[in-house]
Structure 1
Amino acid sequence: MSEAAVGTVQAGDELPAQDFPINRYDLIRYAGASGDFNVIHWNERVATTVGLPNVIAHGMFTMASAIRVVTDWAGDPGAVLEYGVRFTRPVVVPDPEGAVLHVEGKVRDVRDDGTVEVDLTSTVDGQTVLAKARAVVRTVKR
């Protein structure tokens, strides 16, 4: 969001949708970065033994991927002041094809203080994986 565009942001505006491919390699890299080595995120045998359909993505990895739609739009990851989601369904990551997280964003409200509320819709194969996903973004001060 450029400085010139800030004044033109309105409720209902759509952010550019993005698709984020997720594969097992991504999950292993995330496990190393986060320290979350729970075997359901990398071992198919264990994941299916505990009742999952396959290996699943880390919830925080999914959440972090989704907010990229907002940070790319805002042009600054530090502009995100608040962000929350509800996890509704795990992101199943079969090998080798992986999964694709599709994320759309829409401006819910432009507040008097210059912040913008954005609602996100995050789906995999048409099924919602994050509900009540909302971010509050700081815009350029007027």
Structure 2
Amino acid sequence: MSLKLSEISVGDPLPGLSVPLVRSDLVRYAGASGDFNPIHWNERFAKEVGLPDVIAHGMLTMAVAGRLVSNWTGDPGAIVRYGVRFTRPVVVPDDAEGATVELSGKVSKINDDGTVKVAITAKSAEQGVLGGASATVRVAA
């Protein structure tokens, strides 16, 4: 998809994205990131520290939310700024379904420099998991 600034308006929605996460995804992410904190793979430990179950890595949740924007732009390199606040963990049960992160977004601002700000909403189990999530992207004039 080739986005053009002249074709974008404030309020335009991004195509939604639904990303399933199962425990094996967490193991693969741990291996790739080097983050082997037991709250991401050991149910007993996660519950001992007060969590309801094993949770997805925050940075993995952030990455799947970023995919919403990169899918829309068609170019991950178009993202010039991206930030989130972690507000609630994504709990990943030990079953075939795991958890699903539901993502949506909309154009919230067109900046004078030709970049576009996108507001992102991320939910799992019908609750927000990221706060203040937004990306600034550069699109073709």
The interval holding the TM-score normalised by the smaller chain is over 0.9
Partner of 1:131: 131
Structure 2 SS opposite 1:66: helix
Partner of 1:68: 67
* Structure 2 CA distance for aligned equivalents of residues 75 and 39 of structure 1: 35
> Scaled by the length of structure 2, what TM-score is found?
0.96
* Structure 2 CA distance for aligned equivalents of residues 57 and 73 of structure 1: 24
CA-to-partner distance for each residue in 1:80-136, whole Å, 9 max, x for gaps?
100010111010000113100000010001112110000000001210000000100
Q: How many residue pairs end up in the alignment? A: 140
What is the CA distance between 1:54 and its match in structure 2?
0.2
Instruction: Name the % identity.
Output: 59
Structure 1 SS opposite 2:14: strand
Structure 2 residue runs without a partner (length 5+):
none
Structure 2 SS opposite 1:47: helix
What is the CA distance between 1:46 and its match in structure 2?
0.6
Q: Report the AA paired with residue 48 of structure 1.
A: K
* Structure 2 CA distance for aligned equivalents of residues 69 and 50 of structure 1: 32
